[in-house]
Amino acid sequence: MADKTADHTVPDGGAAPAAAGAALPLAGITVMDLSRALAGPYCTALLGDLGADIIKVESAKGGDSTRSWPPFEDEHSLYFDSTNRNKQSIAVDFYTEAGRRLLWDLAVAADVLVENFRPGVLATMGLDPAALREANPGLVIASVSGFGTTGPLSQAAGLDQVAQGMSGLMSVTGPDADSPTRVGVPVMDLYAGVFTAVGICASLAGRAGNGGQGHEVGTSLLEAGLAVSAFQGQNYLSTGAVPVPQGNNHPVLSPYGVFRTADIPAIIAVGNQAHWAKFCAIIDAPELEHDPRFAVGRDRSEHRAELTELIEAKLVHRPGLEWIEAFRAAGIPTGPIYTYAQAFDDPQVQALDMVQTVARTDGSALPLLRGPLSINGTATGVRKAPPALGEDTRSVLEGLGLDESQIAGLVEAGIVQEHGREGVRS
The catalytic residues are: 189
List all residues 6 or more positions away from 397 whose beta carbon is below 8 Å from its beta carbon. 90, 406, 407, 410, 416
Please name the helix (run of DSSP H) or strand (run of DSSP E) that holds residue 321, with its range, or none.
Answer: helix 320-329
Query: Looking at this protein, which amino acid is placed at residue 108?
Result: V
Side-chain half-sphere CA neighbours of 130 within 13 A: 2
Cα distance between residue 388 and residue 179, in whole Å: 41
DSSP assignment string, 342-366: HHHHSHHHHHTT-EEEEE-TTS-EE
Q: In 3D, which of 328, 185, 206, 322 has the Cα closest to residue 264?
A: 322
| CA dist list (Å): 297 to 172, 238, 309, 313 | 21, 21, 17, 21
Residue 87 forms beta bridges with which residues? 54
3-state secondary structure of 37: coil
Q: Is the dihedral of CA 43, 49, 52, 58 positive or negative?
A: positive
List all residues 6 or more positions away from 179 whose beta carbon is below 8 Å from its beta carbon. 245
Side-chain half-sphere CA neighbours of 266 within 13 A: 28
Please state, as a whole number, how many other Cβ atoms lie within 10 Å of the Cβ of residue 361: 18
Is residue 266 within 8 Å of residue 274, measured between CB atoms? no
